[in-house]
Amino acid sequence: MGTYARQNIVFAKGEGAWLETATGERYLDFGSGIAVNALGHAHPRLVAALNAQAGKLWHTSNLYRVAGQEKLAERLVAATFADKVFFCNSGAEACEGAIKAARRYHYVAGRPERWRIITFEGSFHGRTLATLAAAGNPKYLEGFGPEMPGFDHVPFGDVEAVGAAIGPETAAVLVEPVQGEGGVRVPPAGFLEGLRALCDEAGILFVLDEVQSGVGRTGKLFAHEWTGITPDIMAVAKGIGGGFPLGAILATEAAAAGLVPGTHGSTFGGNPLATAVGAAVLDVVLEPGFLAAVEQKGLRLAQGLARLKDRHPALVKEVRGQGLLAGIRIDATPADLVAAALAERLLVVGASENVVRVLPPLIVGDDEISEGVERLSRALTRLAQSKT
Ligand code: PLP
């Protein structure tokens, strides 16, 4: 179907931060399949994990216990705030399930009137009808019938607006720690802490969407770890599968109380192939020093992008982001810079607010960061020339 405005290019294979076409042209991948290929392409540990599982068992459904799923859930529980995990296949499903969990939490506690969720302008939570309504972006909602009710939108970064929006029907606050699709928007310091305090005061749940910011992308396993707070529920996907479709809802025991047998489910969610890869991703990301190295690479990238702002002041207006979730805001259409970068054999990804996202895999090397920044610089020159 015609849902995508794709680049006219086909990749045949990949290794690390590089992709190659069938005719041997090599591209530096600073898009990571939209923040998915956390460990780059064809990481030997992931290939080994997938191959080993492929020869044993692919799928049994969630009618039975799944050993690899239990193991990955235990690893996630050990590494995070969570006591409980539900596996699905994508970010939208993880957010949708998080919304369901929040509503059911109040329902089973005898507060069915608490079902509304406060969300943020500029957010993105997926393309299902509920997650589209949660984000409230008119562009994506148009033509799909009545918008699903139950979401109250407030400006991103505005704790006071959230306080004013909380009412007797509010069940939860749902927020991305850093908005990705919305234009790599980092909220002001103290924002997440402020939301956590408001949720505690009101007796409502604090739900994080770490689909894009999670699994090491900002230099911590999850972005909220940069603050002192933890959520009650968290949606995870993208990087957790390293390129294999996998998503998860993580929750505290209390917040997961509503999701009893029969209330939610997935045929594929957490199947043996997906969870074998997910466990291998976690093994690598949680190795001592890995996340500290990502933080260093993030600083290096930020420095490189800041130099681009100096070199191309007419085009580059702002450099922003956290770790390897970086963005440059340009005085041009993001798609034009994405195309110019493609001509320099560099992959980057557009976002809202005239931002181009720079999302290298977490295993990117220092030389590759320098190379990527150089290619982006040439792309900016190309773009400037095309505009004159
Ligand atoms: N939430 C966030 C923060 C995202 O960035 C995305 C995808 O970009 C999603 C949810 C939806 O994920 P998926 O496309 O896997 O459904």
**Ligand 1 atom closest to Cα of 238?**
15
Q: Residue 211 has what pLDDT? A: 98
Say yes or no to pLDDT of 191 above 80. Answer: yes
In the chain, pLDDT over 90 holds for what percent of residues?
A: 99
Q: What are the phi and psi torsion angles at 10 (to 5°)?
A: -125, 130
Q: Considering all CA atoms of the chain, what is the largest pairwise distance in Å, rounded to the nearest integer?
A: 64
Q: What are the phi and psi torsion angles at 377 (to 5°)?
A: -65, -45
91 CA distance to ligand 1 centroid (A)? 4
From CA 222, how far away is CA 212, in angstroms rounded? 10
pLDDT tens, residue by residue, 2-60: 999 999 999 999 999 999 999 999 999 999 999 999 999 999 999 999 999 999 999 99
H helices of 217-315, in order, are 272-285, 290-311
Cα 64 to chain center, whole Å? Answer: 29
Say what the pTM is: 0.98
The SS3 of residue 315 is coil
316-322/247-251 β-pairing: unpaired
Q: Residue 262 has what pLDDT? A: 96
384 CA distance to ligand 1 centroid (A)? 32
Q: Residue 289 has what pLDDT? A: 98
Q: Residue 185 has what pLDDT? A: 98
The SS3 of residue 274 is helix
**Ligand 1 atom closest to Cα of 93?**
16
- Residues with a catalytic annotation lie at 124, 209, 238
The region that residue 98 occupies, defined by phi over 0 for left and psi between -120 and 50 for alpha, beta otherwise, is: alpha
Q: Residue 47 has what pLDDT? A: 98
**How many CA atoms within 13 Å lie on the side-chain side of 385?**
7
Can you tell me which residue has the tokens 């109250």? 152
The pLDDT of 382-386, averaged and rounded, is: 95
276 CA distance to ligand 1 centroid (A)? 22
What's the Cα-to-Cα distance from 168 to each of 114, 232, 271, 348, rounded to whole Å?
7, 19, 39, 43
380 CA distance to ligand 1 centroid (A)? 28
pLDDT tens, residue by residue, 338-374: 999 999 999 999 999 999 999 999 999 999 999 999 9
Say yes or no to pLDDT of 155 above 80. Answer: yes
Say yes or no to pLDDT of 388 above 80. Answer: no
- DSSP state for residue 191 in the 8-state scheme: H
Please choose, from the candidates 3, 6, 22, the residue with its C-alpha nearest in 3D space to the C-alpha of residue 14.
22
Best of 37, 87, 95 for a ligand 1 pocket test (most atoms within 8 Å of beta carbon): 95
95 CA distance to ligand 1 centroid (A)? 8
176 CA distance to ligand 1 centroid (A)? 10
- The encoded tokens of residue 76 equal 């996630």
pLDDT tens, residue by residue, 197-255: 999 999 999 999 999 999 999 999 999 999 999 999 999 999 999 999 999 999 999 99
Please choose, from the candidates 123, 70, 118, 127, the residue with its C-alpha nearest in 3D space to the C-alpha of residue 93.
127
Task: Measure CA of the first residue to CA of the last residue in the chain; give whole Å.
Answer: 36
Nearest CA to ligand 1 atom 13: 91
Nearest CA to ligand 1 atom 10: 125
Best of 238, 240, 268 for a ligand 1 pocket test (most atoms within 8 Å of beta carbon): 238
pLDDT tens, residue by residue, 173-186: 999 999 999 999 99
**Ligand 1 atom closest to Cα of 128?**
16
Cα 117 to chain center, whole Å? Answer: 20
The pLDDT of 282-290, averaged and rounded, is: 98
Nearest CA to ligand 1 atom 5: 212
**Ligand 1 atom closest to Cα of 90?**
15
The pLDDT of 107-119, averaged and rounded, is: 98
Q: Residue 258 has what pLDDT? A: 96
Say yes or no to pLDDT of 387 above 90. Answer: no
Ligand 1 site residues, Cβ closer than 6 angstroms: 34, 90-92, 95, 124-126, 176, 180-181, 209, 211-212, 237
- The encoded tokens of residue 264 equal 């939610």
The pLDDT of 251-260, averaged and rounded, is: 97
**Ligand 1 atom closest to Cα of 245?**
15
311 CA distance to ligand 1 centroid (A)? 33
Best of 88, 125, 156 for a ligand 1 pocket test (most atoms within 8 Å of beta carbon): 125
In the chain, pLDDT over 70 holds for what percent of residues?
A: 100
- The amino acid occupying position 151 is F
Q: What are the phi and psi torsion angles at 316 (to 5°)?
A: -90, 115
Average pLDDT value for the chain: 98
